[in-house]
Structure 1
Amino acid sequence: MREFVIVVSSSSSSISTPPNPSHHHHHHRHFRSSSKFSPSNLPSRSSAVRSDLRHFADFAGDAKLRDLSVVVESLAVSGVDASRLRSALRAELASAEKGISAVLRDGKVRSFARLLGKLDELGFPPVEIFDGWALELIRRECRRILRCEQVEELVELFEVLSGYGFSIKELVKPSDVIKICVEKRNPKMAIRYACTLPHAHIIFCDAVYEFGKKGDLVSALIAHEASKKNSTSTNMYLYRTIIDVCGRCHDYQKSRYIYEDLLNEKVTPNVYVFNSLMNVNAHDFSYTLNVYKDMQNLGVQADMASYNILLKACCLAGRVDLAQDIYKEVQHLESTGLLKLDVFTYSTIVKVLADAKLWQMALKVKEDMLSAGVNPNTVTWSSLISACANAGIVDKAVQLFEEMLLAGCKPNTQCCNILLHACVEACQYDRAFRLFEFLKRNRVQETSEEDGRGDRDSNQSAGVTSISQSSTLCGLNFARELPFTPTTTTYNILMKACGSDYYHAKALIEEMEAVGLSPNQITWSILIDICGDLGNVEGALQILKTMRATGIEPDVVAYTTVIKVCVESKDLKQAFELFAEMKRYQIQPNLVTYNTLLRARNRYGSLQEVKQCLAVYQDMRRAGYNSNDYYLKQLIEEWCEGVIQGNNQNREESSSFNKTDKKRPQSLLLEKVAEHLEKHIAETLTVDVQGLKKVEARIVVLAVLRMVKENYTMGYLVKDDMLIIIGACKVDAVPDEQELEVKDAITKLLKDELGLEVLSTGLKIEPNRQVDSDSLGSSDFSGEMKYSTRRPVVIQRLKVTKESLQHWLQRKISLLRNHYTT
Structure 2
Amino acid sequence: MRDAIAILASSSVTLPPATTPTPPHYHNHRWRRPHTPTKNKDNNISRTKQSLNSSAPLLRSAVLWNPSHFTSRKYYADLASNLAGDGRFHDFVMIAESVVVSGVKPSQFVSFLNVNLVSAGITRIIKERKLGSLIEVLAGLSKLGFAVIELFDGVAIEALRQECRRRLGKCDDVDEIVSFMEKLQGLGFATKEYLGPSEVIRLCAKKRSPTAAIRYARIFPQVDTLLCTIMIEFGKRGDLVSALTVFEVAKQKQGCPNTYAYRTVIDVCGLCGDYLKSRSIYEELLACKFTPNIYVFNSLMNVNASDLSYALDIYKQMQKLGVTADPASYNILLKSCCLAARVDLALDIYREVQQLESTGALKLDVFTYSTMIKVLADARMWKMALEIKEDMLLAGVFPNTVTWSSLISACANAGLAERAIQLFEEMLQADCEPTSQCCNILLHACVEARQYDRAFRLFHSWKESGIQKSVNKNFHWKTKDSTFVDHKLENSSTMSHSTSNSQHQSFPTSFPFAPTTSTYNTLMKACGTDYYRAKALMDEMKTEGLSPNNISWSILIDICGGSRNVQGVLQILKSVHQAGIQPDVVTYTTAIKVCVEHKSLKVAFSLLAEMKKNQIKPNLVTYNTLLRARSQYGSLQEVQQCLAIYQDMRKAGYKPNDYYLKLLIEEWCEGIIQNSNQNKGQSTSSDRTALGPQSLLLEKVAEHLQDTNAESASIDIRGLTKIEARIMVLAVLRMIKEKYTPGDSVKDDLLIILEEVSGLGASTHESGFTEAIANLLQYDLGLEVLSATSRDGKNFDGGFENSFASHPKSKKILEGRDLPLKLECPSRRPAVLQRLKVTKASLYHWLQKRGASANRIDSSSSAE
The aligned residue for residue 434 of structure 1 is: 457
Picking from 9, 14, 23, the partner of 1:8 is 14
Correspondence 1:706 to 2:740: no
Residue 37 to residue 673, structure 1, CA distance change in 2 (3 Å): same
Aligned to 2:595: 566
> Per the alignment, do residues 530 and 52 of structure 1 end up closer, same or farther by CA in structure 2, a change over 3 Å counting?
closer
Equivalent residue, structure 1, for 2:650 = 621
Q: How many residues align?
A: 741
Match runs of 1:320-399 below 5 Å: 320-399=343-422
State the match for 2:519 in structure 1.
490
**Separation of aligned partners in 2, 1:50 and 1:434:** 80
Deviation track 1:161-218 (CA, whole Å, cap 9, x = no partner) reads: 7668776656654444434433433322232232232222232233233333333333
Q: Which residue of 2 aligns with 1:781?
A: none
3-state SS in 1 of match to 2:61? coil
- Asked whether the 8 Å contact 1:37–1:45 carries over to 2, the reply is no
- Indicate conservation of the 8 Å contact 1:62/1:103, yes or no: no
Counterpart of 2:502? none
Following TM superposition, by how much is the alpha carbon of 1:739 offset from its aligned partner in structure 2, in angstroms?
8.6
Distance 1:24 1:632, change over 3 A: same
Residue 808 (str. 1) matches residue 846 (str. 2): yes
Q: Quick one: which of 686, 689, 696 aligns to 1:659?
A: 689
1:649 and 2:676 matched: no
Q: Which residue of 2 aligns with 1:521?
A: 550
Name 2:761's counterpart in structure 1: 734
Shift of 1:68: 7.9
Q: Secondary structure at the match of 2:778?
A: helix
| In structure 1, C-alpha distance between the alignment counterparts of 2:313 and 2:509, rounded to whole Å | 48
**Match for 1:239 among 262, 276, 297?**
262
- The letter for the 1-side match of 2:667 is E
How far apart, in 2, do the equivalents of 1:793 and 1:312 lie?
61
2:29 aligns with none
Check the 8 A contact 2:373/2:407 in 1, yes or no: yes
Q: Which stretch of the first structure deviates more once superposed, 29-38 or 351-360? A: 29-38
Matches of 1:684 and 1:280 in 2, distance apart? 55
Percent sequence identity over aligned pairs: 54
* Aligned-partner Cα distance in 2 for 1:557–1:175: 39
Contact 2:676–2:781 (Cα < 8 Å) also in 1: no
Shift of 1:55: 10
* Residue in structure 1 matched with residue 248 of structure 2 by the alignment: 225
CA deviation map 1:57-115 (0-9, x unaligned)? 7999999899789857xx73xxx4444x7634775697495699799833796886566
Specify the SS of the correspondent of 1:381: helix
8 Å CA contact 1:109, 1:156 repeated in 2: no
Q: Is the 8 A contact 1:24 1:30 kept in 2?
A: no
| Contact kept in structure 2, 1:357 and 1:391, CA below 8 Å | yes
| 1:144 match | 163
SS state of the match for residue 723, structure 1? strand
- Residue ranges of structure 2 left out of the alignment (5+ in a row): 19-44, 469-507, 795-827
Q: Distance in 2 between matches of 1:608 and 1:806?
A: 23
Change (3 A) 1:220 1:658: same
Distance in 1 of aligned mates of 2:528 and 2:132: 72
Q: Secondary structure at the match of 2:714?
A: strand
Q: How do 1:417-816 and structure 2 match up within 5 A? A: 417-443=440-466, 481-602=510-631, 604-644=633-673, 645-649=675-679, 651-652=681-682, 656-661=686-691, 663-665=692-694, 667-680=695-708, 682-683=710-711, 685-728=713-756, 732-738=759-765, 742-765=769-792, 795-815=833-853
Q: How far does the alpha carbon of each residue in 1:673-706 deviate from its partner, in whole angstroms, 9 at most, with x for none?
A: 2322234464452223233233222222222222
Who is 1:105 aligned against? 131
- Aligned twin of 1:774: none
Change (3 A) 1:722 1:546: same
Q: What letter matches 1:552 in structure 2?
A: I
Q: Give the aligned partner of residue 201 of structure 1.
A: 224
1:87 partnered with 2:108:
yes
Aligned to 2:493: none
1:596-649 residue CA offsets vs partner (Å, 9 max, x unmatched): 333334265433333343333333333333222222222322322233333453
Contact 1:677–1:704 at 8 Å: present in 2 too? yes
Worse-superposed segment, 333-342 or 646-655: 646-655
Paired residues of 1:65 and 1:112 also in contact (CA < 8 A)? no
Matched AA of 1:757? E
1:409 aligns with 2:428: no
Structure 1 position 718, deviation (Å):
0.8
Q: Which amino acid aligns with 2:739?
A: N
TM-score (norm 2): 0.75
More moved, 606-615 vs 140-149:
140-149
- Please point out which of 141, 150, 168 is paired with 1:131: 150
Q: Deviations over 1:245-299 (max 9, x none)?
A: 2222222222223322222212222222222222222222222222222222222
Matched AA of 1:279: N
Aligned with 2:251: secondary structure?
helix
- Report the Cα distance in structure 2 between the residues aligned to 1:335 and 1:156, rounded to whole angstroms: 58
Gaps (5+ residues) in structure 1?
A: 13-22, 120-124, 446-478, 768-789
Deviates more, 1:601-610 or 1:324-333: 601-610
> Cα offset for 1:418?
1.6
Further displaced range: 361-370 or 239-248: 239-248
Q: Distance in 1 between matches of 2:425 and 2:129?
A: 71
1:155/1:93 Cα in 2 relative to 1: closer, same or farther (>3 Å)?
Answer: farther
Match for 1:543: what amino acid?
A: I
What is the CA–CA distance in structure 2 between the aligned matches of 1:81 and 1:610, rounded to whole Å?
A: 101
SS at match of 1:761: strand
One-letter identity of the residue aligned with 2:431 = G
CA RMSD, Structure 1 to Structure 2 (Å):
4.1
Question: Conserved in 1, the CA contact under 8 Å of 2:87 and 2:125?
Answer: yes
Letter in 1 for 2:442: L
Residue 817 of structure 1 and its aligned partner are, at CA, apart by: 5.5
- Once the two structures are TM-superposed, the CA of residue 381 in structure 1 deviates from its matched residue by 1.7
Matched letter for residue 8 of structure 1: T
* Residue number in structure 2 paired with 1:463: none
Q: Name the CA distance, whole Å, in 1 between partners of 2:54 and 2:833.
A: 111
What CA distance in whole angstroms lies between the structure 2 residues aligned with 1:265 and 1:61? 60
Deviations 1:14-61 (A, max 9, x none): xxxxxxxxx999967658425753765435865786699789979999
Structure 2 CA distance for partners of 1:668 and 1:164, relative to 1, 3 Å: same
Structure 2 letter corresponding to 1:561? T
CA distance in 2, matches of 1:480, 1:619: 58
What secondary structure, in the 3-state scheme, does the structure 1 residue paired with 2:693 have? coil
Q: How does 1:50-89 map to 2 (within 5 A)?
A: 76=101, 80-83=102-105, 87-88=108-109
SS at match of 1:610: helix
**Greater Cα shift, 102-111 or 689-698:** 102-111
Deviation string 1:700-729 (CA, Å, 9 cap, x unpaired) is: 222222232333354432122222233556
Deviation at 1:443, TM superposition (A): 0.8
Q: 2:75 aligned with 1:37, yes or no?
A: no
TM-score by length of 1: 0.79
Contact 2:742 2:851 in 1 (8 A): no
The 3-state SS of whatever aligns with 1:734 is coil
